Amino acid sequence: MTDQEKVVEVQRDYSAVNRYVDHLLDRHQDSLAYNHVNRWKLVLWGVGILLIAVALAYYIYSWAVYIQKKEPLNNSAVSPIISEQTKTENVKQITTNLIEANNEKPVDQPYEVKKVSVEFTVFKKVDLTGDRKIVTGYSFEPSNIETPKYQYCYLDILEGENTTRNVMLASKQGISGVQWRTNIDKTYYGLGQSHCHFRFD
């Protein structure tokens, strides 16, 4: 190398390239973080939908079990409605049986008044819990089988193997009003109000 030759140093600025590379790295890291968050969002959505499906299935199952275990209608609650509709028919049928038993032959008009010669009573019973029942009696005269001469209602309580106790609740003479007993327990009075069924009340 001659004295006239000089060493030339060239300095190059790569700061712009470095900034661009750093920018690409930042974008890559942001993309990774974004994808990570999205994956967790999908997982949480999946868990939520699964929980809703399980809750809905449990609700449907509980409803099906409830329907299967639902108790049938209580006959004692339905019988007063049926009885009200069929009282007259029952009285006529009983009269028919009495006439046929007395005459030992069928009759064309089984409930003719002139052929009934004895007084009779028809009973309606409503079974309650605790070996108890409400009994309503309808007593008829031979001359009038449409309107009871006397009606009464009492509570029948089984107190032993062969022992029962009757608590008179109310009575009705002819077409007059019902006379409720005032010296009875309030519980018995409430049972009478619910289950004693008087005609023409």
The pLDDT tens digits for 134-159 are: 999 999 998 888 889 999 999 999 88
Quote the CA–CA distance of 154 and 135 in Å, as a whole number. 6
What's the pTM value of the predicted model, to 2 decimals? 0.43
Tell me the average pLDDT of the chain: 78
| Planar angle of CA 184, 187, 192, nearest 5 degrees | 75
Q: Given a cut of 80, is residue 189 above it in pLDDT?
A: yes
Of 120, 111, 116, the closest CA to residue 143 belongs to 116
Show Cβ contacts of residue 76 under 8 Å, excluding neighbours closer than 6 positions. 126, 127, 128, 195
Coil, strand or helix: which one is 98? helix
Coil, strand or helix: which one is 176? coil
Q: Where are the alpha helices (DSSP H) in 15-114?
A: 15-69, 75-103
Show Cβ contacts of residue 82 under 8 Å, excluding neighbours closer than 6 positions. none
pLDDT band at 101 (very low <50, low <70, confident <90, very high): low
